[in-house]
């Protein structure tokens, strides 16, 4: 299951990394929040995806993360003083650069549900897939600032 009712079942979802070489999304979804709270760069086909960094910083030849080379991703789930999930934090780094890309997903209305789901034991899933419609992830968006104008196969 996921927040978009795959197999007709909705549940909390934690997207640490939905990415390609031009776009990056990290998103928290409560079971009923299809859009969730996201961070990163890219996306939009009539809407604007996250704009926490840009194509000069992340992508092929990027100054901070050159996606044609290996890079590292660190994720943490810090708790507040009461032991409740406070955020999901990601840091993207690459050897040879001095500009890490930091993302912080906090202040999410569905955080308590995410906390409970993580506490019950979420199963990490790593998948590799493609689609003829990826502009939701890497499209230009209505602001024209996303990385891709068209889908390519």
pLDDT tens profile 87-136: 999 999 999 999 999 999 999 999 999 999 999 998 888 887 778 888 98
Contact 57, 64 (CB under 8 A): yes
d(Cα 52, Cα 108) in Å, to the nearest integer? 17
d(Cα 145, Cα 7) in Å, to the nearest integer? 34
So what's the pLDDT on residue 153? 63
Instruction: To the nearest 10°, report the CA torsion of 142, 143, 145, 149.
Output: 30
* Distance from the first to the final alpha carbon of the chain: 27
d(Cα 73, Cα 48) in Å, to the nearest integer? 24
So what's the pLDDT on residue 125? 82
Q: Mean of the pLDDT values across residues 36-52?
A: 90
């Amino acid at each position: 299951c996921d927040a978009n009712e795959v197999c007709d079942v909705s549940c909390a979802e934690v997207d640490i990394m939905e990415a390609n070489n031009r776009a990056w999304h990290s998103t928290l979804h409560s079971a009923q929040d299809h859009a969730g709270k996201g961070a990163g760069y890219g996306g939009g086909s009539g809407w604007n995806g996250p704009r926490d960094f840009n194509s000069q910083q992340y992508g092929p030849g990027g100054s901070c993360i050159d996606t044609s080379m290996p890079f590292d991703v660190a994720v943490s789930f810090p708790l507040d003083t009461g032991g409740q999930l406070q955020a999901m934090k990601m840091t993207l780094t690459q050897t040879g650069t001095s500009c890490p890309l930091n993302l912080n997903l906090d202040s999410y209305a569905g955080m308590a549900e995410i906390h409970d789901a993580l506490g019950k034991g979420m199963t990490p899933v790593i998948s590799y897939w493609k689609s003829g419609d990826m502009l939701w992830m890497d499209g230009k968006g209505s602001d024209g600032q996303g990385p891709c104008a068209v889908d390519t196969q």
